[in-house]
């Protein structure tokens, strides 16, 4: 604490991201990165952007990137908002759309950055408990304040089917609803086609998972033009130029390389199914996952103990010391070899 | 306005950055970019980063970049904060350090983003008038709330000499003082050596001007470890990964290429002196500039009229429709050829 800090700075409990160890030779299955690289076209575009006009400010509005994303999702460019990773997009959504008198609602088990944003922007919030099966039940989201949830949820990986998403939206036409689709590309059905019928719906996306560009920092949101305008007002009061030239160029090239994208996602999904079966065969209970990770617990071994034992073998998975999920491990779907190494290590442990 | 916007989003008056026209063949002297490119080593480092591990999250703490900057400025890494352009660094400083009960003080004529941040974070503020010569007078900053000002000031280009900076600090030991040194490398003396004696002093810097990396988006701040910790708390409650891998790599390489940096700054300073004299010869009153731009007015021609007439000839300068400086043009120091083209155009106009 310092007397020079604001009250806001004093009261914060910052987010703690998954560890980014600086050691080599790790099997790193803790931060849900893609095991495959980004589109080679994205790499080339970044390299080209680096050699052209880096002394110039980038387009503050990222118009070319918005146009590419609008084409991709069949919406208008005014329905696209872009930011420095989906964490920044979410931060702007919290201050622009989710801060109202009625408390913000989100699942009790979810992306742990949400309560942190609430602390930063002084937003009251109410947790809504997942069911015993760690699922979101739309019936629990009847009347109330704004809503945010990831779909698939993190860290459970469980998908809310699109008809359930529609039921939740139908029950909440008068408050902003943000759906964080960081992991939707691994088998879920997106809510983006619903934005035109639901002016209160904002869907956020990231280039960090299925597009394998976590190192570049690009995220975006799709919604009604009026929601996007609210986000733009906040963005233009915070940082005019959130995306540099390499980031804009790389993201555009990624969006335009559909075969690479589809192939990467398909490979991750195939490995996920193998991993699910292999863990089940070892006695783990594995939640059905529609993400690039699985969430699993062993009836006889504590999550923290297993995570520590794996770490001793240079395999890093994520464990959350939180009520209800303390037993679980969240395991990123890596390459086939990485997942096999994990299963081998677990065989010796359980 | 939308009923889904928060009160914050409703009450904002966003910042309007200098135009980034998408036309070619312009003489673009409106956003204070470097006329010379960045260090070739920075370009190579970005290209290398693009081909390595872009699927991985970057180091959330940018430790290698902080170490490079700490070496450069002879401070400890814990005294360095980095962000997505100095606008993001400033935004975090506003919420972490400049939001207190006593109103924030800054010059009436200054970087026009400051009141915008105040709107976003609900910070009360009081303008302190520049002198008639458009200078900051430390005597006007006796007792009061936190302080922020650019040095050299924008858009005037006027430098507050280091002894005057020390006088201002001596009079304000109990409130945070942020000095925005975006333009310090063009002839000013930095306040960074003062941070160890003044735990309330934060100095912000950018890679967008003297390091010619506006397209990359990197800024930083240097201060006491306790001020930096306050900024880190806000950063880690907003976005864990503000700088991508290409940005971190490019910035490090730039800091390590001192000859390129010194040479670029020296060329800009030489051209600025030529431009100052050429404008003076045309009858302009030119404020003494320690920045990479000059601020000038002509006694017989309105600033807006001149800016529009230059624009018709594809030469863009910046004009601010604001009290006290409505007569002035802010002209970025371009290449010698660009400045000669500007002077030729003005000769025909005045």
Token pair for A148: 């945010």
Domain assignment present for B152: yes
C-beta atoms of B31 and A213 within 8 A: no
Question: Going by C-beta distance under 8 Å and a sequence separation of 6 or more, which residues neighbour residue B238?
Answer: A87, A88, A91, A117, A120, B92
Q: Cβ(A123)–Cβ(A99) under 8 Å?
A: yes
Q: In what order do the strands lie in the sheet with A147-150?
A: A80-83, A219-223, A201-206, A177-180, A147-150, A104-107, A125-128
* Confidence (pLDDT) at B21: 78
How many contacts, defined by CB atoms under 8 Å, are there between A and B?
289
Q: Are residues A165 and A142 in the same domain?
A: yes
Q: Which residues of A touch B47 (CB under 8 A)?
A: 46-47, 50-51
Report which secondary-structure segment, H or E, holds B49.
helix B40-51
Domain assignment present for B4: no
Q: Cβ(B129)–Cβ(B102) under 8 Å?
A: no
Domain assignment present for B145: yes
**Cis upstream peptide for A261 (omega within 30°):** no
Q: Cα distance from B105 to chain A (closest Cα, Å)?
A: 15
Q: Cβ(B254)–Cβ(B284) under 8 Å?
A: no
* Confidence (pLDDT) at B19: 78
Measured CA to CA, the distance from residue B76 to residue B164 in angstroms comes to: 26
| pTM reported for the whole predicted model | 0.96
Q: Are residues A48 and A193 in the same domain?
A: yes
Stretch A162-172: mean pLDDT, rounded? 98
C-beta atoms of A243 and B217 within 8 A: yes
C-beta atoms of B238 and A88 within 8 A: yes
* Confidence (pLDDT) at B1: 85
Please provide residue B187's backbone torsions phi and psi, each rounded to the nearest 5 degrees. 125, -5
Q: Which residues of A touch B217 (CB under 8 A)?
A: 58, 84, 241-244, 247
- Give me the number of domains chain A comprises: 2
C-beta atoms of A17 and B240 within 8 A: yes
CA-nearest residue of chain A to B5? A97
Q: Cβ(A120)–Cβ(A12) under 8 Å?
A: yes
Q: Cβ(B201)–Cβ(B169) under 8 Å?
A: yes
Domain assignment present for B288: yes
Q: Are residues B204 and B57 in the same domain?
A: yes
* Confidence (pLDDT) at B243: 98
**Cis upstream peptide for A152 (omega within 30°):** yes
Residue A17 has pLDDT above 90, yes or no: no
Q: Are residues A33 and A47 in the same domain?
A: no
Q: Cα distance from B296 to chain A (closest Cα, Å)?
A: 23
Domain assignment present for A28: yes
C-beta atoms of A98 and B53 within 8 A: no
Q: Are residues B224 and B240 in the same domain?
A: yes
Q: Which residues of A touch B227 (CB under 8 A)?
A: 2, 4
ipTM of the prediction greater than 0.90, yes or no: yes
Q: Which of B256, B288, B317 is the last residue of a domain?
A: B256
Q: Cα distance from B3 to chain A (closest Cα, Å)?
A: 9
C-beta atoms of B240 and A216 within 8 A: no
Token pair for A151: 């779909």
* Confidence (pLDDT) at A97: 98
Q: Are residues A101 and A158 in the same domain?
A: yes
C-beta atoms of A97 and B49 within 8 A: no
Domain assignment present for B210: yes
User: Domain holding A342: CATH number?
Assistant: 3.90.1150.10
Q: Cα distance from B281 to chain A (closest Cα, Å)?
A: 30
Measured CA to CA, the distance from residue B236 to residue A116 in angstroms comes to: 9
3-state secondary structure of A11: helix
Stretch A252-261: mean pLDDT, rounded? 98
Measured CA to CA, the distance from residue B143 to residue B260 in angstroms comes to: 42
Q: Cα distance from A138 to chain B (closest Cα, Å)?
A: 21
Q: Are residues A114 and A24 in the same domain?
A: no
Domain assignment present for B141: yes
Q: Are residues A81 and A175 in the same domain?
A: yes
Measured CA to CA, the distance from residue B41 to residue A54 in angstroms comes to: 13
DSSP B138-156: GGGG-SSS-EEEESS-TTT
Q: Are residues B273 and B237 in the same domain?
A: no
C-beta atoms of B214 and A176 within 8 A: no
**Cis upstream peptide for A326 (omega within 30°):** no
Write out residues in chain B with pLDDT < 70, as ranges: 23
Token pair for A139: 């019936």
Q: Cβ(B325)–Cβ(B25) under 8 Å?
A: no
Q: Which residues of B touch A88 (CB under 8 A)?
A: 238-239, 242
User: Domain holding A83: CATH number?
Assistant: 3.40.640.10
Cα angle for residues B127, A99, A223 (degrees, 5° grid): 110
Q: Cα distance from A281 to chain B (closest Cα, Å)?
A: 30
Q: Which of A195, A230, A256 is the last residue of a domain?
A: A256
* Confidence (pLDDT) at A35: 96
Report the first-to-last Cα separation within chain B, whole angstroms: 44
Report which secondary-structure segment, H or E, holds A128.
strand A125-128
Q: Are residues B141 and B78 in the same domain?
A: yes
Q: Which of B225, B256, B287 is the last residue of a domain?
A: B256
Q: Cβ(B123)–Cβ(B99) under 8 Å?
A: yes
For helices B336-349 and B258-281, give the axis angle rounded to 10 degrees.
10
Residue A143 has pLDDT above 90, yes or no: no
User: Which residues constitute the domain of residue B283?
Assistant: 12-37+259-349
Per-residue pLDDT band for A249 (boundaries 50, 70, 90) equals very high
Residue indicated by tokens 């290209």? B47
Q: Are residues A83 and A177 in the same domain?
A: yes
Q: What integer best gives the mean pLDDT of chain A?
A: 96
Measured CA to CA, the distance from residue B4 to residue B10 in angstroms comes to: 10
Task: Among B11, B13, B48, B57, pick the best mutation site for testing chain A contact (most A Cβ within 10 A).
Answer: B57
C-beta atoms of A216 and B31 within 8 A: no
Q: Cβ(A280)–Cβ(A350) under 8 Å?
A: no
> Considering Cα of B171, then B112, then B33, then B212, what sign does the dihedral take?
positive
Domain assignment present for A5: no
Question: Going by C-beta distance under 8 Å and a sequence separation of 6 or more, which residues neighbour residue B110?
Answer: B149, B150, B153, B154
C-alpha distances out from residue A133 to A243, A277, B127, Å: 40, 19, 57
Q: Are residues B267 and B228 in the same domain?
A: no
The tens digit of pLDDT for each residue in B188-233 reads 999 999 999 999 999 999 999 999 999 999 999 999 999 999 999 9
Q: Which residues of A touch B200 (CB under 8 A)?
A: 4
CA-nearest residue of chain B to A178? B4
């Amino acid at each position: 604490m310092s007397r020079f800090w604001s009250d806001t700075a004093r009261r914060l409990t910052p987010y703690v991201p998954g560890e980014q160890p600086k050691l080599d030779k790790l099997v790193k299955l803790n931060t849900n990165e893609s095991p495959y690289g980004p589109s080679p076209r994205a790499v080339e575009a970044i390299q080209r952007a680096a050699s052209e006009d880096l002394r110039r400010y980038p387009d503050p509005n990222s118009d070319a990137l918005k146009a590419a994303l609008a084409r991709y999702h069949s919406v208008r460019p005014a329905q696209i908002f872009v930011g420095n990773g989906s964490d920044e997009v979410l931060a702007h959504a919290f201050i622009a759309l989710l801060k109202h008198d009625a408390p913000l609602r989100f699942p009790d088990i979810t992306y742990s950055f949400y309560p942190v944003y609430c602390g930063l922007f002084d937003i009251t919030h109410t947790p809504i408990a997942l069911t015993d099966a760690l699922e979101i039940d739309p019936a629990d989201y009847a009347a109330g304040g704004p809503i945010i949830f990831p779909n698939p949820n993190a860290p459970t990986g469980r998908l809310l089917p699109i008809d359930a998403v529609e039921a939740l939206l139908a029950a909440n036409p008068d408050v902003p609803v943000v759906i964080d689709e960081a992991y939707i590309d691994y088998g879920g059905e997106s809510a983006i086609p619903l934005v035109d019928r639901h002016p209160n719906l904002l869907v956020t996306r990231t280039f960090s998972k299925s597009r394998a560009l976590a190192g570049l920092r690009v995220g975006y949101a799709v919604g009604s033009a009026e929601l996007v305008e609210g986000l733009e007002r906040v963005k233009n009061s915070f940082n005019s130029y959130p995306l540099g030239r390499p980031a804009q160029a790389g993201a555009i090239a990624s969006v335009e390389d559909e075969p690479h994208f589809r192939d990467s996602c398909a490979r991750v999904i195939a490995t996920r199914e193998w991993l699910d079966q292999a863990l089940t065969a070892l006695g783990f209970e594995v939640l059905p996952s529609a993400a690039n990770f699985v969430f699993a617990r062993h009836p006889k071994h504590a999550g923290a103990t297993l995570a520590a034992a794996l770490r001793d073998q240079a395999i890093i998975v994520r464990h959350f010391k939180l009520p209800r999920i303390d037993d679980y491990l969240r395991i990123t779907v890596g390459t086939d070899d990485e997942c096999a190494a994990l299963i081998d290590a677990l065989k010796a442990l359980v």
